[in-house]
Structure formats: structure tokens, C-alpha cells
Amino acid sequence: MESAIPHPLQEERKTPVSTPAAYTPPFPAWTTRFSPLVERVVMAYFGVQSTQTEGELALDAITARFSTAHGPSHWDLATYRDELGFINDIAIAYWASAETFSLWKTESDFQEWWQSVDREQEEYGLFMEVVTPDIRGIETIFSDHHHPEGIAHLARKMSDEIQEHGYWGSARDRLPLAQTSPLNTHSELRISSINAARQIVHGSDNLCLIRSGQDWSDTLNEERTLYVEDVEPILNTGMRFLRDDGPTIGCLSCRYMQVLERDDRALLPKTFGLAHFTDLQALELWSKSHPTHVAIFKEFMKYVKALNFDIKLRLWHEISVIPAQSQYFEYINCHPNTGLLKKGKSSCNTDSVR
């Protein structure tokens, strides 16, 4: 068993850990191990917002460029129907460096395509949410080390079993930057308009982004029934709370997304919650004490006990804490509840065009 924080990123701690004394995790878990050459990664969420399935085809104008030089090392496709009934089709792409991402935007003509006034005349909305966290600002955890998800596709390998998991506060204990900083925020998101159709949301310090996934592909019979009928509805309720009432507890945006097959866009038995919190502390408080998350945790423990802890469900998450200058959020013709627009403070008049 080893520490979740790799040796090259370990520092003398200025903040305490939450790991209980003489602690032994109740079940195994793993984290990602990146090459020492990876210092800053790119997580880019490209979305099309529409009232019909036209958004799926519109997204092809972006994903077709992924196969060009300097395209992403990995990308996923997912869909989500928001609280106003709009379908949001999203491609989530990962690059191992900001420099490679910048080259891709230029050499694939994405930048020219995105900035064209033609994008402002479309019958659907478009958005681009990009964060470039330092590798020290990322932590991951996996219940299965044979099936990488998300940013794990950029990793060199998975760790051995890790020590810091299975207790409240373990996510912070896995985060290298948290060794020396509480990672709190003291700023707010701010909106500015480029024109009537385009809006930019300027980031806030230590914004916390979590992508937390569930994969029931290998579940069978009783386990699948227990997950689909008992666990997932409780999870769905928690995600809806974060979507609709999240700002009351520091959640700025939440999408509960269904993963799609990239080739034919068939729905896969995989979901994930994608949420932005004001900072890591806000995420921790919801996870530890809010009734919606307590209900998720209790139902999950009931589920694993019913199966004698022998489950095929795979769980994982990636958490990033990101400085303001490493965030870029742009929305074209999107409704005002889209993503970070929902909680940004306007610095000028910004009228919705939808």
C-alpha cells in the first residue's frame, strides 16, 4: 500500500491530514500516476445546446478535428437534458499540455471556426469550458484499476493500492496542493459580453471541478437491479439538488450526464456527475453532511452489504482545483442557466438571445 501522492510531489505538510491513526482502508482503491514530464493538463468541455437532436450533428464540427495533428490524447461523448429542457451534447477532451492544446486549436482551424460570426447565427447554442490545472491540483480515485476513465487515459500507469481513501476528508489528503494550502476561494465568477451572442465567464481562484462516474456495464441480475432501481434514483435526486439548489451550498453548476458510444451515439450504462464548486471545502461539506449526499452514501452501503461487498459496479472520480487564470468559459447563444453563466456576476448588460 502506498500514498496517493507520488513521492516527487510530496512536500513538508503545512496543513493536517484527516487520515485516522493506524488506519487500514476497508476496500482497495487506486489512483493515477503521471509521467514526471506532465506538469499541466487541459480538460476541455465542448458543448452544443439545442431543443432537438440537431446538436449531435453540430458537435461533429468539433470532434472531427480531434483526429488532426495535436488532437486530444483522449475524449468522451456524453449527453444531458437540462432543467429548461435543452439537450446538451458534450465532448470532453484531454490534452497532456497547454502547448499541445494551443497548437491543435490553430492547426485544426478550430480557433478560426469558433471565432467566426457564423457561430453566432446558428439555431443552437455552443459553449467551451476549458481548465488547465497544474498536475499538483488534481486527484483521482478508482475502484477498479483495469478500466481507466477520463484523465486516467493520460496517465503512465495506475498506482498500487492507496492508503488515503474511505474516510471523510480523504480527497483533500490525496491532493498534492493541499499539503501546503487550504485552497479556499476569496473571489467570484464574473461575466462579460463580447457581443449580444457571446459571453465570457472569468474564473475564480481555487474553483473546484469534479467529474464523478458510475459504470454498471459488468453488473448482472440482482446487482444490476439493485443499482438501477435503488441506488441510481437516489444518486439522481442528489444531482438534481446540486443542479437546482446547488448555489445555496456553493455548487455553481451540475450536470448529470449519460455517456454515449462515440461511433453511433448509443447510450452506454455509464453516467457521471460534472459539477463546479466554489472551492474544495464546499464540495467536502456537501459530501460529508448534506442530506442528499448522506442518502446516496447510505443507499450505496446498503447495496454493497446486500452483495457481501462483491460488486461489479465501477466507481471513479477526478477532482481539480484550478486558479482563476487557468480557466476559460465561453458561451454562444446559450440560455442563462448554462454552466457557469448561472452564477457569474455580470460586469455589463448581458441579454440572453435564446
Q: Which residues are catalytic?
A: 317
C-alpha cell at 341: 453563466
189: left (phi over 0), alpha (psi -120 to 50) or beta: beta
Nearest to 127 by CA among 57, 58, 40: 58
Q: How would you classify the pairing of strands 327-332 and 125-131?
A: antiparallel
Compute the distance between CA of residue 203 and CA of residue 189 in angstroms, rounded to an integer. 5
Compute the distance between CA of residue 32 and CA of residue 152 in angstroms, rounded to an integer. 6
Bridge partner residues of 277 (DSSP):
208, 251
DSSP letter for each residue of 330-348:
EEES--TTSGGGGTPEESS
C-alpha cell at 302: 446498503
H or E element in which residue 59 lies = helix 54-63
Asked if 84 and 162 count as a contact pair (C-beta separation under 8 A), the reply is no
Compute the distance between CA of residue 236 and CA of residue 48 in angstroms, rounded to an integer. 23
Asked if 284 and 172 count as a contact pair (C-beta separation under 8 A), the reply is yes
H or E element in which residue 170 lies = helix 170-174
Compute the distance between CA of residue 219 and CA of residue 123 in angstroms, rounded to an integer. 40
Name the DSSP letter for residue 162.
Answer: B
